[in-house]
Chains A and B, each alone.
Chain A
Amino acid sequence: MILLNIKKGFDLKIEGSPLPELRELKKPAFVAFLPEIIPFIKPRLLVKTGDMVRIGSTLFIDKRNPDIKFLSPGSGKIETINYGPRRVIKEIIIKLDNKEEFVEFDVNKFSGNNEYNRDDIIKSMMDGGIWPFIRELPFRDIAVPDFKPQVLIVSLDNKEPFQPDPQVYLKEEINLFKTGISILKNLVKDVYVHSSKDFINIDMADNLVTHKFSGSYPADDPGVLLHRIRKDPSENRIWYINGQDVLLLGCFFSTGRYPVKRTVALAGSLAKKRMYFNTRIGVPINNLVEGRIADENKARLIAGGIFRGYAASRESFLGFYETSVALLPEGGKSETFGFLRAGYDRPSYSKTFLSYFNRLPLTTDCSLHGEERACVNCGACAKVCPVDILPQFAFKSLVAADIEEALSHGMLDCVDCGLCSYVCTSKIDLCGFFKKAKQVYYKDKS
């Protein structure tokens, strides 16, 4: 096992972490698939409103590679398909029936000795709709099956506030996890399991974890690990998967059914009950939060992490990759002489607030806490960047449309952690610049 000490990054002391209590959520009436929020894909629908589907029926495929399929997370009738601007498919909503019928996939050849044909596994994963869980650095797109990378990183701990704790979702499912890892080992040369050193599930720590880190958010990110261990540009393109998705993989290969189970965290300072729920992919957000919001009018619902997630409405559904819902105060209240407060209760990366001496988790809202200004080169972003980009210089080269310069700064190493935007004194959304530039660059390349 390799121990890593990752110095950069930042742990936000924020109130509202979920307690390690796991509860079953009642079966919802609807589930949905949200193609819009899966980056880069070009969906082609194979179903229409009114069609009957089973769990595991193909809903749509990716035009870029028609073998990549996205399957139905529920059995029942396609209720509606919602489109957004320019006919982008926003939601495919399925009304669940009571039968819970499954499409059965043949996985018999994957029982036994742990050594299988790579192409067989890829084919089964694609047919079974679980291939999209494996993604590829640097663009974080769905992995390209023809490519064989050296390494696949399983990132276990989630340092981003309010993400599900592996100790909760692995507790009962450790065998599925082991099955998943043994399958993954056939895909690449090395499977690295990346975990925090605080993670103390003895049963698996000794056997499976290959890299342990100590450090702050986002030290758990596969991109951060890669940045630390790579020696050569050929290692830039690798695969990764989230810990919870490995369970789905294990589940698929042991049952032959498309797995839909998800452990979702409900957290944030406006959540009355902060805990975990066992539920399914595509659950309506309202089912998770109803009756559990402390202040309905003030709350912002964030799906998938307060740094990288998106604001969702109560009527929407949880996406394919998202495993948490955070409820935070929307904020936006003005304060008299707000900039001169001593700030014992104000979280900050800087040392200009008394909260520097406060060890308690603090409540914070979605205010910008200031107005956007020109960059004054204070350098906070470069101090916090976990992959040693110089965000203040790289973003200026992007503003000047010099993408080559930004690339040489390591723009593609950016792990989208959002810390540069968080700490910025001038309230510049640096991370947004990098995200957009990466998308443009990706489209140019393909």
Chain B
Amino acid sequence: MLFGKIKISFDKNRKHFQNGGKLKNLYPLFEALEAFFFSPENITKEGPHLRDSIDLKRFMSFVVIALLPTFFFGIYNAGYQANLIAGFSLDFWAAFSKGLVIVLPLVFVSYSVGFFWEILFASIRKHKISEGFLVTGLLFPLTLPPTIPLWQAALGISFGVVIGKEIFGGTGRNILNPALTGRAFLFFAYPAKMTGESVWTVVYKLKDQSVDIVSGATPLAVSALAGINDNIEVLLAQKGYSFLRLFTGTYPGSIGETSAMLCIAGAVFLMVTGIASYRIILGGILGVLSTGYLLNMVAGDSSAAWLSINPFYHLVMGGFAFGISFMATDPVSAPGMENVKWVYGFAIGVLTVLIRVFNPAYSEGVMMAILFMNLFAPLLDYVEIKFRLKKRVPNV
């Protein structure tokens, strides 16, 4: 058996990684690899003698599974958009293989650079490599435009892992979502590659092509540029962005964010299995819709077109669906108390819409909204715990 052979090779090489071995500093790597293939053999020592079958590896794997539809669609869409403007075949396999060429290097860079930092910190601090990075490493490339240079992606994930997580002590101790921290770093450090009209589609030029190809603007950019008398829904429709298309996701944008439909599918999976909090997700959707309707009500004839857009468009455009499903629900950076999770999710929804509508400098608001609310998560917890303990009969 293949796995029998792998097991033997682990057993054979173990001595090099243990105390006294040449590679003892890399023991966390060895251990993480072994635990990936073979579940560990440790047992309970005292009561409770039994433990639940779930562990953090399974917990995090479920998020990765929930991300897979979005991931594969992101690959297809990146290839599809590139082929569309280059005039190549739009056949599924042509688009998908083009997408693989665009996306896989990014994912590879994200995982390898990120794991490098994880292993470095684990080796120096002598702790185990946590599974949290399985998710971060996949989330991060999905939030990037497909044209991002690989070295920038490497820099972004390094910032996210080191500053966003490891300096606080690693998985479980970070304040901000590491993947979003990395993205925010790139957003402010290299705005030319993170914003604007030209970054959302990879442009392939044929040798004999003389005319520059212009890539399409994202729906959010279209909306942000709308004049006072414009109707954004009509403008979007003119560009070919019907509501249905925005919902299914075949439009230019960050790799993983475009398909609201598949993000919702992932979110439903996570909510049903109890990995993600339905309170945060539903709270976020409520926040977007209620703010959207409120803005509709205050919108007058001379106010910006953004104010009178149908609020459901906010749900399907840009990264909101992706962010609220996979980023906001990160249990480490979200509040731990059940009731304030509603507040947290709701505030993310509200802030997303407010940033989109009132701040023309950032066409996208969900990243800032989530990071901002990450900072407030401990305060929200603090308030709810105070209320809860006040009701408790003291016992000291």
Determine whether the beta carbon of B49 is less than 8 Å from that of A421.
Answer: no
Q: Nearest-CB distance from B136 to chain A (Å)?
A: 12
Name the contact of B393 in the complex, choosing from A232, A339, A372 (C-beta under 8 A). Answer: A232
Chain A residues in 8 Å Cβ range of B58: 339-340, 352, 370
The interface residues of chain B lying within 8 Å CB-to-CB of A347 are 52-53
State the Cβ distance, A198 to closest chain B Cβ, in Å.
23
Q: Choose from B47, B51, B332, B393 the contact partner of A376 (Cβ within 8 Å).
A: B332
Say if the beta carbon of A311 comes within 8 Å of chain B.
Answer: yes
A212 CA to B300 CA, complexed, in Å: 63
Q: Does B20 contact A (CB under 8 A)?
A: no
Interchain CB contact under 8 A, B55 and A425? yes
Structural contact, A409 and B172, CB atoms closer than 8 A: no
When distances are taken between beta carbons in the complex, the residues of chain A under 8 Å from B51 are 367-370, 421-422, 424, 427
Against A, the Cβ 8 Å flags (1 = close, 0 = not) of B42-71 are 111111111111111111011000000000
Min C-beta distance of B245 to chain A, whole Å: 34
CA of A311 to CA of B5, assembled, Å: 35
Q: Using known A-B contacts A336-B3, A338-B39, determine if residue A407 contacts B55 with beta carbons closer than 8 Å.
A: no
Query: Contacts A376-B331, A377-B336, A393-B336: A369 and B47 contacting too (C-beta < 8 A)?
Result: no
B250 in the interface (beta carbon within 8 A): no
Residues on B with beta carbons closer than 8 Å to the beta carbon of A393: 336, 381, 385
Within 8 Å of chain A (Cβ to Cβ): is B197?
Answer: no
Verify B38–A335 contact, CB threshold 8 A: yes
Q: With a CB–CB cut-off of 8 A, which chain B residues contact A305?
A: 47
Contact of A373 among B41, B53, B128 (CB under 8 A): B128
Q: Which listed residue (B41, B173, B273, B336) contacts A350, Cβ 8 A?
A: B273
Tally of chain A residues near chain B (CB < 8 A): 78
Verify B49–A311 contact, CB threshold 8 A.
yes
CB < 8 Å neighbour of A388 from B62, B392, B396: B392
Chain A stretch 74-100: residues in CB contact (< 8 A) with chain B:
none
Given contacts A232-B393, A307-B48, A418-B48, are A367 and B42 in contact (CB under 8 A)? yes
User: How many Å lie between the Cα of A347 and that of B58 in the bound state?
Assistant: 14
Q: Does B19 contact A (CB under 8 A)?
A: no
A355 to B53, CA, bound (A): 10
Which chain A residues border B37 with CB–CB below 8 Å?
336-337
- Taking the closest CB of chain B, its distance from the CB of A10, in whole angstroms, is 9
Q: Chain B contacts of A365 at CB under 8 A?
A: 43, 50
Report yes or no: A332 in contact with B172, Cβ–Cβ below 8 A.
Answer: no
What residue in chain A is nearest B169 (Cβ atoms)? A374
CB contacts (< 8 Å) of B35 on chain A: these are 371
A162 to B88, CA, bound (A): 69
Please determine whether B49 and A407 come into contact, CB atoms closer than 8 angstroms: no
Beta-carbon contact of A351 and B171 below 8 Å:
no
B273–A432 CB distance below 8 A: no
**CB proximity to A under 8 Å, residues B343-384:** 381
Give the CA-CA distance A412 to B395 in the complex, in Å.
6
Interfacial chain A residues near B385, Cβ < 8 Å: 390, 393
Among the listed B59, B171, B172, which residue makes an inter-chain contact with A352, where contact means beta carbons less than 8 Å apart? Answer: B59
Whether the Cβ atoms of A425 and B396 lie closer than 8 Å is: no
Q: Please, which residues of chain A bring their CB within 8 A of the CB of B53? A: 343, 346-348, 353, 355, 364, 369
Do B47 and A332 touch (CB < 8 A)? no
* With A236-B395, A393-B385 already in contact, 18 other A-B pairs whose C-beta atoms are closer than 8 Å: A14-B50, A138-B395, A232-B393, A306-B49, A310-B47, A328-B50, A335-B39, A336-B37, A339-B55, A340-B61, A348-B54, A351-B273, A364-B50, A373-B172, A374-B130, A377-B332, A378-B59, A427-B56
Which B residues have a C-beta under 8 Å from some C-beta of A?
A: 3, 35, 37-59, 61-62, 128, 130-132, 169-173, 272-275, 331-332, 334, 336-338, 381, 385, 388-389, 392-396
8 closest A-B pairs by CB: A370-B55, A338-B39, A374-B172, A418-B48, A346-B53, A339-B57, A334-B38, A307-B48
A-B contacts, 26 of them at CB < 8 A, read: A233-B393, A233-B395, A306-B47, A328-B50, A330-B43, A332-B41, A332-B42, A336-B3, A336-B37, A348-B54, A350-B52, A351-B272, A352-B59, A353-B53, A367-B42, A367-B43, A373-B131, A376-B332, A377-B331, A377-B336, A379-B338, A390-B388, A408-B394, A408-B396, A421-B51, A426-B172
